[in-house]
Structure 1
């Protein structure tokens, strides 16, 4: 398994008579069971965030009057002085567009109500004031519209310059083989008992790219229930929830005893090995793609650049009645980066499912 999108990816090596729990799809709405990698009971899930406001929309504490920032404005922007050295500047059009009053922003749905295209091009403050609860701006509109921006909200969303963006990031832990001594793990009972256990599980995935759940009962029902702690289970070309063994019931090497190399694949799946008796193999390989990429970037910047720029077409064509490929069909580079920060955010590596590299320029073939 290769960590790529910092989610749970899985690879398994199998041989011999490895036995995986299997049953046919029922006629009722109940899902058929698991998928790939000599693991059974695989559930595909979509991570769901708690039904609470985001950090930038959460209730924010007031600042004492003695500690109020200094504010000033001109025809183009409003300046907020947090201290004698730290200032944030906000364009007038940006502030008006992000008004948090009940007419412009729905406090329950967290959705915008303001039509951006109705904001006058010459929008400017008539008055700016530092209030204990935030920055108050009275605009030069016919109704003298008044906006109030909580101080903490302004600080979190400051863009000129950014102030707290890095502080809000989750620490990503890069790891090598020593992680096997104490891999990130949370107990099944803890996850099922409440949101604190679920948060611990998801935090492990966010920080390390994977997490084990120990003590899960070896049944499809328990696996499905565990999956639904994260979110609803989505349909895939393999089904919604299913089991399998190495019988080539599907046109995928996951349904064989062939060993699979490290790859990023099905990063949204949850795998549970239910039975492994009378067989050999079935070992799981875990690799931190982010760690590997960090080493490559240091030792061979040119190779890192190529893997960041050359798109890789891919396909799944083992079933005679179906054909899957990415959109766009040209695919995506192995290494994906944030458009703003240029931080590495994804590692897509699956050499087995790679399509023909017919789009390479002649001078790049050997380098790639």
Structure 2
């Protein structure tokens, strides 16, 4: 079935009329963009999916000498441009042939954009949909997997399926429990590595600690710790975090989880001015408890990171919230923002501490908790007695990469790039 109805040159562009598009019948592409995205063997190395063409050598006035299509493939023979001197080697394009798959052209149409950025991956909208939650939505059916299934699958296919199921639950709900984990740091570390590599920091790689202040951080105390995300003092906050309570002979130490994406949407509806403040005002942060450590991000970042700051319906893609690690804020573009910012804090805390949004859960030996540190806030109540915990940070980009490949397939992922 033909996807393309007609292709014709229009000035420095090419116009494609689609065979079946009632609302948006055509797309327009610049000649230089098409030439830059040629995937022939001279311009693109298919084994590594990397460009070979130096974009600076393309003449800005490049034109098509001939254009043909069979309904599913567009073939262009390029002229050597206008000779206006804007290309380092304009003659290099003389008689060069480029072929473009119609499906690829449609996915990457930018004038107009036919497929939203988050839907380019075939099936991503449904298969990778995130389920934002409140306590009533999830408390009776927490996402969980079994350690034995994840670690000891009989063959590679079964193991990939187990990792896929685990990854999907973690992505969809922002956290997941792992049951029947041997109560040793060694087995817990192997569990982490089954999903992804462990991220080393000034706390070490894999942690195994008690409330002895071995590191100068309140996590190494028995204090109550309010809802937060970790690592706001890093430019790249940790993506995932895994905990395993190995031992506790006292009381307290209950963990809470909050879906910050859901809370941000509540804030957008209920307190729009405060939501806007959290998307705009950059908040400095630091980690300076250790004698030889004073970590700060290369530039302060806002509490809410959106996929498109210019779109009022844009999605939340990261929440950076940690009152303990916030530095002194003395660089205000508008001094009137001071009171607005503290009002936003009040509005935000009222939402994230609402019992409808804060899920309390008592961790126990033999059960690990892993969560998306960009999305889910966590806290811990004060405790008594000796408490031993182990865990690690894992990188989010590598997790998302594996999630997409396992869930959508490599062909769909490559199409989108």
Q: Provide the TM-score with structure 2 as the length reference.
A: 0.68
Aligned to 1:28: none
* 1:367 correspondence with 2:340: yes
Distance 1:225 1:133, change over 3 A: farther
Deviation at 1:84, TM superposition (A): 5.2
Aligned to 1:338: 307
Q: Distance in 2 between matches of 1:84 and 1:271?
A: 47
Q: Distance in 1 between matches of 2:317 and 2:15?
A: 33
Alignment of 1:1-368 (within 5 A): 64=1, 66=2, 68-82=4-18, 83=20, 85=22, 86-131=25-70, 134-141=73-80, 142=91, 143-165=94-116, 166-167=118-119, 168=121, 169=125, 170-178=128-136, 179-192=138-151, 193=153, 194-266=159-231, 267-328=238-299, 331-339=300-308, 342-360=314-332, 361-368=334-341
Q: Distance in 2 between matches of 1:228 and 1:322?
A: 27
Contact 1:227 / 1:270 at 8 angstroms: preserved in 2?
no
Moved more, 287-296 or 337-346: 337-346
Q: Distance in 2 between matches of 1:285 and 1:300?
A: 24
Deviation at 1:234, TM superposition (A): 2.6
Deviation at 1:290, TM superposition (A): 0.9
Distance 1:107 1:283, change over 3 A: same
Q: Count how many residue pairs are aligned between Structure 1 and Structure 2.
A: 302
- CA root-mean-square deviation: 2.0
Aligned to 1:52: none
Aligned to 2:369: none
- Which structure dedicates a bigger proportion of its chain to helix? 2
- Which structure dedicates a bigger proportion of its chain to strand? 2
Higher relative contact order (CA 8 A, sep 6+): 1
Deviation at 1:68, TM superposition (A): 4.4
Secondary structure of 2:209 counterpart: coil
Aligned to 1:22: none
Q: What runs of 5+ residues in structure 1 fail to find an aligned partner? A: 1-63
Contact 1:311 / 1:334 at 8 angstroms: preserved in 2?
yes
Contact 2:3 / 2:102 at 8 angstroms: preserved in 1?
no
Secondary structure of 1:351 counterpart: coil
Q: Distance in 2 between matches of 1:310 and 1:67?
A: 46
Q: Provide the TM-score with structure 1 as the length reference.
A: 0.77
Aligned to 1:35: none
Moved more, 69-78 or 292-301: 69-78
Deviation at 1:132, TM superposition (A): 5.8
Q: Distance in 2 between matches of 1:135 and 1:190?
A: 48
Contact 1:134 / 1:148 at 8 angstroms: preserved in 2?
yes
Deviation at 1:69, TM superposition (A): 3.6
Q: Distance in 1 between matches of 2:206 and 2:32?
A: 49
